[in-house]
């Protein structure tokens, strides 16, 4: 915003000799009026900045991104163009402990799990029939401290907690109760962090990500993987 400075001044003028000079009492009033107008314009400009600046900041306009973004890798077990076929494939993935998340990018992709390292997704895709993987990124975003903390927690600690719980549960090293407790506690932390976010879109997305209710017919392992994939998809939608 360009700042303007204004100073009121009075030029002293004597009336012409023998003539009638201007009334000196009018000059201070005129100068004061100009000053009042300038101050009102400045106040209006400040009010407009207060209203619109947060929107510019959230959308990434006018500043460098505070959240640098992060890329993950989705393991898929198939794809389809027909919704019914996609649901059947998703159900098969669920029965095997996969997320069974139907991701639509022009094709219905059946996502079984999300990984932080490309090598992990690539290895698993190579040893499973009809499996593949693709990169999925959370974009960078200009945001304040509360938004940044929420995004970094979701893309960092929360993702790790879900991944560890799923892996250890799949290996039989922890119980379902322990896995659920770890994941639900981490989701509660996400909801708490989101309270300090200034972006309503990030707040709303975090609330959706934190929802945890296992539907009938789905295992704890499958649902944890589903939650992990869902939270990335939901949060990216809030950032683009």
Render pLDDT for 228-238 as a digit per residue (tens, 0 to 9): 999 999 999 99
Between 120 and 18, the more confident residue is 120
pLDDT in tens, 72-88: 999 999 999 999 999 99
Helices 159-171 and 176-194: crossing angle in degrees, nearest 10, is 170
CB-based contact 100:94 (threshold 8 Å): yes
Q: What is the mean pLDDT of residues 89-112?
A: 97
Give the integer Cα–Cα distance in Å for 193 and 189: 6
pLDDT value at 6 more than 80: no
CB-based contact 226:101 (threshold 8 Å): yes
pLDDT in tens, 103-128: 999 999 999 999 999 999 999 999 99
pLDDT of residue 234: 98
pLDDT of residue 27: 54
Q: What is the mean pLDDT of the chain?
A: 83
H helices then E strands: how many in the chain? 8, 4
Give 9's pLDDT tier (boundaries 50, 70, 90).
Answer: very low
| pTM of the predicted structure, to 2 decimals | 0.73
To the nearest whole percent, how much of the chain has pLDDT over 70? 73
Helices 200-209 and 176-194: crossing angle in degrees, nearest 10, is 170
pLDDT value at 26 more than 90: no
pLDDT of residue 56: 40
CB-based contact 140:68 (threshold 8 Å): yes
pLDDT of residue 59: 40
pLDDT value at 17 more than 80: no
pLDDT in tens, 144-188: 999 999 999 999 999 999 999 999 999 999 999 999 999 999 999
Could you tell me the two tokens for 33? 């009026």
pLDDT of residue 162: 98
Give 60's pLDDT tier (boundaries 50, 70, 90).
Answer: very low
To the nearest whole percent, how much of the chain has pLDDT over 90? 71
CA distance readout (Å), 214 to 21, 218, 219: 90, 7, 8
Q: What is the mean pLDDT of residues 23-42?
A: 55
Give 215's pLDDT tier (boundaries 50, 70, 90).
Answer: very high
Q: What is the mean pLDDT of residues 54-80?
A: 72
> Can you name the residues that pair with 113 across neighbouring β-strands?
75
């Amino acid at each position: 915003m360009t700042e303007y400075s204004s100073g009121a001044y009075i030029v002293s003028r004597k009336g012409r000799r023998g003539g009638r000079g201007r009334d000196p009492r009018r000059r201070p009033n005129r100068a004061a009026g100009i000053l009042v107008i300038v101050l009102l314009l400045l106040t209006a400009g400040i009010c407009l900045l207060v209203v619109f600046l947060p929107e510019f900041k959230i959308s990434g306009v006018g500043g460098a991104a505070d959240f640098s973004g992060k890329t993950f890798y989705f393991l898929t077990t198939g794809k389809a163009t027909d919704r019914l076929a996609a649901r059947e494939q998703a159900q098969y993935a669920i029965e095997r402990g996969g997320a069974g998340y139907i991701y639509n990018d022009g094709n219905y992709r059946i996502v079984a799990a999300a990984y932080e390292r490309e090598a992990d997704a690539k290895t698993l895709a190579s040893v499973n029939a009809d499996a593949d993987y693709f990169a999925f990124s959370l974009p960078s975003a200009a945001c304040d401290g509360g938004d940044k903390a929420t995004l970094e927690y979701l893309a960092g600690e929360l993702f790790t907690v879900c991944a560890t719980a799923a892996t250890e549960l799949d290996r039989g090293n922890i119980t379902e109760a322990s896995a659920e407790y770890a994941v639900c506690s981490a989701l509660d932390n996400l909801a708490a962090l989101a309270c300090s976010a200034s972006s309503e879109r990030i707040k709303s997305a975090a609330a959706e990500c934190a929802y945890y209710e296992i539907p009938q017919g789905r295992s704890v392992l499958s649902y944890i993987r589903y939650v992990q994939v869902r939270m990335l998809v939901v949060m990216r939608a809030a950032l683009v």
